[in-house]
Amino acid sequence: MSQTVFEPWNDPQAKPLIQFKNVTKRFGDFTAIDNQTFDIYEKEFFALLGPSGCGKTTMMRMLAGFEAPTEGTILLAGQDIAPIPPNKRAVNMMFQSYALFPHLSIWENIAFGLKRDGKSKDEIAARVAEMLKLTRLERFANRKPHQISGGQRQRVALARSLAKAPKLLLLDEPLGALDAKLRQDTQFELMDIQETTGTTFVIVTHDQEEAMTVASRVAVMDDGKIVQADTPARIYEMPNSVYVADFIGEVTIISGTARRGDGAYEVSFAEGQPTLFAESDTEFANGQECHLAIRPEKVSITAEKPSDRRNALEGSILDIAYLGNLSTYHVELAGGQIVKAQTANTRRLSRRDFTWEDRVWLSWTDTAGILLKG
Amino acid sequence: MRRFVLIALPYAWLLALFLVPFIIVLKISLSDIKLAIPPYTPTLDFTEGWTGIKAFFSALDFENFTFLTTDDLYWKAYVSSLKIAFIATALTLFVGYPIAYGMANAPDHWRPTLMMLVILPFWTSFLIRVYSWMGILSTEGYLNQFLLGLGLMSEPLTILNTPTAVYIGIVYTYLPFMILPIYSALERMDASLLEAAEDLGCSRLKAFWLITVPLSKTGIIAGCFLVFIPTIGEFVIPSLLGGSRTLMIGKVLWEEFFNNRDWPVAGAVAVVLLLILIVPIVLFQRNEQKQRELEG
């Protein structure tokens, strides 16, 4: 079987499942969503990522039908969903608090939506059994929600929202209440379930690692706007703004002025510091302000000045963040600029090459950094 | 030792304030009426030693309880009390639930005020409030003056001294006991449960019946018992608002005690009333316990 890349957003023929068209949502004077237009495709696992108050939850609640857009339209499979109340939408939601009905058993919770559809008893029983199997909850069918663990409750909530086989499943911080270890396992489980059922998932999260792990595309939001929506890899490697670069992962931002050189831009950023070189597809005018974003793992740290790289800066180690598998060195340059460099801890800690206050050289290639306008 | 004291204290409290008075009432109910002070016989006399105690116990009998079955006034009064208490509880629930629901769904900054309005009547004497209802409901009262003034009718309504007045009085008096437990149950409810129900295909009304009502069930049960139990023995409201035609056991008890000065029969009436009340009280306790288990 040949593996085809799943990238409907690059296919002009693909029909989006959800279309936001100039959607604005205001609460009084406050603009929660500011004139947004974007598409979500079938079978996508789409993540809305941003700090609290960025509008990601509002976006999701508009899809569920609990909020109506102030301006603009939202289309689901080509149909305007504004007049459809939440109980008639082919959209289901998994709530952050799980919102399991405490007076009903796990079985009854999962059957709740099916019963509302007036399905026959046998159909309901078969579907609930299928959902219990999918989420490995068979043994707990007769328990009440307060008699099972947090992780199990999370799976009940997922099973309940999937039971009606919605076109679109909304997940509001689905793993927020789980501890770190369980969360990781559950992330993969979510991806498996999404793949098995073929449902389109939209997940809201403030946890960038979670978004990167599960999503086919991540939309980074700030202040009611989607700043960038792209695959996790492109979001990380090719952020379109300082905000995105800074929000996702660790990064060093060096601000300076650009000057066109041969093949790469020359960036001068501080008095007495050497010029840096960076290749960029974005056009910069000579003398234009620019921001060079470099991921710490792309920066090498050496005792001697490397001869094979043009970008080399000298500084002293200010801080070492030891993460077990990795160490992040915070290196202070002469002008006060701090640059982060990350190395894998392939040796035991006692054999570490560098320690606090050491003079070191940082270096990276012309293509390692990305040049941003703002 | 500390634990012993902690357990002993409530038990001592119950013993002194519940069990001892109950035994005294039970003893009186087994005695005979006598024109004396106190107005019953026998009284326990320790000066005669063992024979005195023996004589005391041999003089006790169930005569008064038998008497209660010979006169149909008593069982009619019990049945009538139960009926009035039952209807009044249903009415209070009917009035109280929407109020509690409204309070629980009111904006946060309104809730303390609304809560205050529910509790405020308790700051005035109960008796004065019942008397004011007489002023409102009587033939020349404010309600009739108002309705006649509007020209809605030509004849004043007769409300005072009817069962209607008793129901109004009971609903008014016991409303907070219904509202508060229901409010506390509704207030604890997670609003996202209703959104989830709607998301899964419920209409608002359906979500109310399938989610809100079952989740406020413990509050409803608690409120109903808090109204039902004291209403059965209610005396002030039926005697002030109900006139002579409203038959309630509390009034019968009062009359036996003060008008007839027949303490033993009054005692028997009280003991039977207590026996009747034990059933709902036990049910109430079980409801409370179930709720605690659910929360624990």
DSSP states of A318-331: EEEEE-SSEEEEEE
* CA gap A32, A69 in Å, rounded: 10
Residues of A in contact with B200 (CB under 8 A): 87, 92, 112-113, 116, 160-161, 164
Q: Which two tokens stand for residue B168?
A: 């109004």
Residues B159, B36 within the same domain: no
Asked whether the beta carbons of B236 and B126 are under 8 A apart, the reply is: yes
Grouping H, G, I as helix, E, B as strand and the rest as coil, residue A94 is: strand
Does pTM top 0.90 for this prediction? no
Distances (CA, A) of A21 to A60, A70, A230: 15, 12, 18
Tell whether the model's pLDDT for residue B117 goes beyond 90.
yes
The rounded percent of chain A whose pLDDT value lies above 90 is 65
Distances (CA, A) of B167 to A36, A313, B84: 59, 89, 8
Residues B14, B109 within the same domain: no
Predicted pLDDT of residue B51: 83
Mean pLDDT of chain A: 91
Asked whether the beta carbons of A105 and B234 are under 8 A apart, the reply is: no
Non-local CB neighbours of B218 within 8 Å, separated by 6+ positions: B181, B185, B287, B288, B290, B291, B294
* CA gap A62, A58 in Å, rounded: 6
Tell the residue number behind the tokens 């809730």, with chain if given. Answer: B111
DSSP E strand boundaries for A87-187: 91-94, 168-172
Distances (CA, A) of B21 to B24, B214, B229, B256, B261: 5, 39, 19, 19, 19
* CB of A116 less than 8 A from some CB of B: yes
| C-alpha distance from A174 to closest chain B C-alpha (Å) | 14
Q: Under an 8 A CB cutoff, do A86 and B198 touch? A: yes
Q: Under an 8 A CB cutoff, do A116 and B193 touch? A: no
Grouping H, G, I as helix, E, B as strand and the rest as coil, residue A302 is: strand
Residues B53, B191 within the same domain: no
* CB of B211 less than 8 A from some CB of A: yes
Residues B4, B126 within the same domain: no
> Least CB-CB distance to A87: which of B198, B217, B294?
B198
Residues B41, B104 within the same domain: no
What single letter denotes the amino acid at residue A19? Q
The enclosing domain of B163 has a CATH number of 1.10.3720.10
Tell whether the model's pLDDT for residue B295 goes beyond 80.
no
Asked whether the beta carbons of A38 and A229 are under 8 A apart, the reply is: yes
Distances (CA, A) of B183 to A200, B86, B177: 40, 21, 10
Q: Which residues are A331's β-sheet partners?
A: A317, A339
| C-alpha distance from A88 to closest chain B C-alpha (Å) | 6
* CA gap A323, A344 in Å, rounded: 10
Residues of B in contact with A116 (CB under 8 A): 200-202, 206
Phi, psi torsion values for A364, nearest 5 degrees:
-155, 165
Q: Is B191 left (phi over 0), alpha (psi -120 to 50) or beta?
A: alpha
Asked whether the beta carbons of B262 and B64 are under 8 A apart, the reply is: no
Question: pLDDT tens, position by position, for chain A (374 residues)?
Answer: 456 778 888 888 888 999 999 999 999 999 999 999 999 999 999 999 999 889 999 999 999 999 999 999 999 999 999 999 999 999 999 999 999 999 999 999 999 999 999 899 999 999 999 999 988 999 999 999 999 998 999 999 999 999 999 999 999 999 887 888 888 888 998 898 899 888 999 999 998 889 999 999 999 999 999 999 999 999 999 999 999 999 998 999 999 999 988 788 899 888 888 889 998 888 888 889 999 999 999 999 998 888 888 899 999 999 999 888 889 999 999 888 999 999 988 877 666 778 888 899 999 998 998 999 87
What single letter denotes the amino acid at residue A273? Q
Residues of A in contact with B185 (CB under 8 A): none
Grouping H, G, I as helix, E, B as strand and the rest as coil, residue A312 is: strand
* CA gap B35, A231 in Å, rounded: 99
* CB of B214 less than 8 A from some CB of A: yes
The DSSP code for A226 is E
The arithmetic mean of pLDDT across residues B25-48, rounded, is 84
| C-alpha distance from B204 to closest chain A C-alpha (Å) | 9
- Burial-class residue A62 by CB neighbours within 10 Å (0-12, 13-18, 19+): buried
What are the pLDDT digits (tens) for B214-251? Answer: 999 989 999 999 999 999 988 899 989 988 888 899 98
Residues B13, B158 within the same domain: no
Residues of A in contact with B217 (CB under 8 A): 103
> Least CB-CB distance to A102: which of B199, B203, B215?
B215
Residues B122, B264 within the same domain: yes
The arithmetic mean of pLDDT across residues B78-105, rounded, is 95
Asked whether the beta carbons of B68 and B249 are under 8 A apart, the reply is: no
> Least CB-CB distance to A64: which of B190, B197, B199?
B199
Residues B180, B282 within the same domain: yes
Asked whether the beta carbons of A327 and A285 are under 8 A apart, the reply is: no
Interface probe with A: pick from B188, B192, B193, B199, most Cβ of A within 10 Å: B199
Q: Under an 8 A CB cutoff, do A101 and B190 touch? A: no
The runs of H, that is alpha helices, within chain B are: 2-14, 20-29, 49-58, 63-70, 72-105, 111-119, 126-137, 142-150, 163-188, 191-199, 204-207, 213-215, 217-232, 236-241, 249-254, 263-295
* CB of B190 less than 8 A from some CB of A: yes
Residues B20, B39 within the same domain: no
Dihedral angle computed from the Cα positions of residues A353, A355, A357 and A359, in that order, rounded to the nearest 10 degrees = 10
Q: Which two tokens stand for residue B207?
A: 């979500």
Residues of A in contact with B215 (CB under 8 A): 102-103
Residues B291, B238 within the same domain: yes
Asked whether the beta carbons of B160 and B138 are under 8 A apart, the reply is: yes
> Least CB-CB distance to B192: which of A88, A91, A99?
A99
Interface probe with B: pick from A103, A115, A164, A170, most Cβ of B within 10 Å: A103
Total domains present in chain B: 3
Mean pLDDT of chain B: 90
Which among B205, B220, B213 is positioned nearest to B189, based on CA atoms? B213
Instruction: Name all domains of chain A by residue range, CATH numbers in brackets.
Output: 8-243 (3.40.50.300), 250-372 (2.40.50.100)
* CA gap A59, A171 in Å, rounded: 12
Interface probe with B: pick from A57, A62, A67, A87, most Cβ of B within 10 Å: A87
* CB of B213 less than 8 A from some CB of A: no
Range of the domain at B2: 1-25
Predicted pLDDT of residue A1: 44
Task: Count residue pairs from A and B with Cβ separation < 8 A.
Answer: 56
> Least CB-CB distance to B195: which of A66, A101, A117?
A66
Q: Under an 8 A CB cutoff, do A87 and B200 touch? A: yes
Residues B41, B172 within the same domain: no
> Least CB-CB distance to B200: which of A66, A97, A116?
A116
What single letter denotes the amino acid at residue A357? E
**C-beta atoms surrounding B235 within 10 Å:** 15
Non-local CB neighbours of B139 within 8 Å, separated by 6+ positions: B156, B157, B158, B160
| C-alpha distance from A68 to closest chain B C-alpha (Å) | 15
* CA gap A92, A201 in Å, rounded: 10
Residues B205, B122 within the same domain: yes
